[in-house]
Amino acid sequence: MAGIFDLFDRISSKKAPVGNVEYIVAGLGNPGDKYDKTRHNAGFMAIDRLAEKCGVEIKTAKFDALIADTEISSHRALLMKPQTFMNLSGTAIAAAAKFYKIPPENIIIIADDVNFEPSFMRIRRKGSAGGHNGLKDIIAKLGSENFIRIKLGVGKKPTPEYDMVDWVLGRFSESDMKALTSVLDSVAYAVEEIIGKGVDLAMNKFSK
């Protein structure tokens, strides 16, 4: 267990970050109590957990998002929760990337994925939106697919006929929420590995 606590110590330095912002780490979701703890807000839940480990609160309003400035693995990073609703997530991400001159390769997006069960996490270096409207808008606004994604399983629809919007805006069962919560710490580890050691190592270690 000492290794885990040492890792969190490296992530969560209380000192003020210095230098230029080098990375954007954003969790996707919809703002407002109406959408709290819904499947589509798994990204919000993960970024809140990461912020907790970093010792910061994501509460400053900027770039149509709530943000926090922190240091992860000796690099300055901006944590973000876009407040534009899921389908316009790219507005906030692109604005922050332009302001700080962050290349797509240094942007990490945490989002829900209905193709996997809630205990599953997958990391990808780049790729298509895969039907996810938040990722689709980020690709359109950045003009690039070359950003890193951390996908969190939220469970498949119970039947093919089940409406997808109703499914992703629905809330987790107690067992599914427990399964999702069990991987949120792994997201924090994965972000630290990606920034500190590279996405390839993180993909091999955490995509399972």
Helix axis angle, 2-11 relative to 174-197, nearest 10°? 70
Residue 132 annotated as catalytic: no
3-state secondary structure 3-20: HHHHHHHHHCCCCCCCCC
Residue 149, H or E segment: strand 148-153
Contact 90/139 with Cβ under 8 angstroms?
yes
Q: Which of 39, 40, 81, 141 is catalytic?
A: 40
Alpha-helical runs (H) found in the chain:
2-11, 42-54, 89-100, 133-142, 164-168, 174-197, 199-206
Tokens of 24: 């954007």
Contact 110/119 with Cβ under 8 angstroms?
no
User: Catalytic amino acids?
Assistant: 40
